[in-house]
Amino acid sequence: MVKVGIIGASGYTGAELLRLCAQHPSVEVVAATGDSQAGTLASHLYPSLAAAYPNLVFEEFTVDRFTGLDVVFLGIPHEAALEIAPQLVGKVGCVIDLSAAYRLKDSSLYPTWYGFDHTQPELLAQAVYGLPELYRSQLPGAQLIATPGCYVTAASLALTPLVRAGLVQSQGVIVDAASGVSGAGRALKHGSLFSTVDEDFTAYGLLDHRHTPEIEQVTSAQVLFTPHLAPMNRGILATCYARPQGDAPTTASLLASLATFYKDEPFIVVRPQVPSTKATLGTNTVHITARYDERTGYVMVLAALDNIAKGASGGAVQSMNVALGLPEVSGLSTVGVYP
């Protein structure tokens, strides 16, 4: 069995990691921290975990508690991950970070986009980006994996095949995406209160959302990214626009290019039908479609996923599977919860 620890298990991504690990045939969770909830039964905070973890108690973090484990997930804020990861890399088999602390390869971007200086250039260079569909060959044996952002996962999987194939221009790409409220985390914030979110739909992070440089890093495209908050718990729907490069494509040729690129991917569904967030609920699956509009000359690509699953914890477990040589689909569902 793979011995797993979760640091920050009391947050939404931590709870999702616990759910996914409970259904993973090769994983045993041996330690779970939640400093703000230390001493609390996991099942008290999340009754959904009661059957799988009746006696699991959130702990406070100590390095010794995690030393020697096969995998440690970090579900903590960026600067906390920047502090804790160096204490664990080399002492555990693999550290998988769900924050942005090791995502951006250019450390000079962190003060502008995240408000802190990056103090671990060696680890930043060592970190492998945890998006198996695009970086699978780099994951086996990785000691530090940086799990992508949820918006980034959707936009990158939609756009990258077309950019790499030279079918769309890499300049002036527009990503318009909406996320469920769980993307804001479990902390009490005015912007994620029920009375604030219910019956509302709003844009935020105009021109300066921190996922922008990450999307550009993965897609190799210049991107104008606008996120929106939707009144739903989970899910992301990204609508991406780009100008074609070379001869004008057709909708059929775009779909064929995407389907060919992802033909062996267990978690990517390319279909003519418009993607739906509900269809991906609770899964590690991404639904993608594309159109070419002859009237305006734009290529449009849409992607839907579950922001906590494939967009965070599910993607992290998928990367773990690849890194350790386990079946990539272990512990992960491709069938959504419906209705």
List the chain domain ranges.
Answer: 2-147+310-324, 150-307
Q: Can you tell me the distance from the alpha carbon of 89 to that of 97, in angstroms, rounded to the nearest whole number?
A: 11
Phi, psi angle pair for 48, to nearest 5°: -65, -20
Structure tokens that stand for 327 in this block: 């079946």
Average pLDDT over residues 304-333: 98
User: For the chain, what is the mean pLDDT?
Assistant: 96
Average pLDDT over residues 39-65: 96
Give me the residue label for tokens 């950019």: 163
pLDDT higher than 90, residue 339: no
pLDDT higher than 90, residue 193: no
pLDDT of residue 195: 80
Residues in the chain: 339
pLDDT of residue 36: 86
Phi, psi angle pair for 275, to nearest 5°: -65, 155
Q: What is the set of active-site residues?
A: 150
Structure tokens that stand for 274 in this block: 């418009």
- What CA–CA distances, in Å, run from 204 to 111, 226, 303? 20, 7, 20
**Coil, strand or helix: which one is 265?**
coil
The topology under which CATH files domain 150-307 is: Dihydrodipicolinate Reductase; domain 2 (3.30.360)
pTM score, whole prediction:
0.96
pLDDT higher than 90, residue 206: yes
Q: Can you tell me the distance from the alpha carbon of 94 to that of 71, in angstroms, rounded to the nearest whole number?
A: 5
Q: Which architecture does CATH list for 2-147+310-324?
A: 3-Layer(aba) Sandwich (3.40)
Residues 159-184 have pLDDT tens digits of 999 999 999 999 999 999 999 998 88
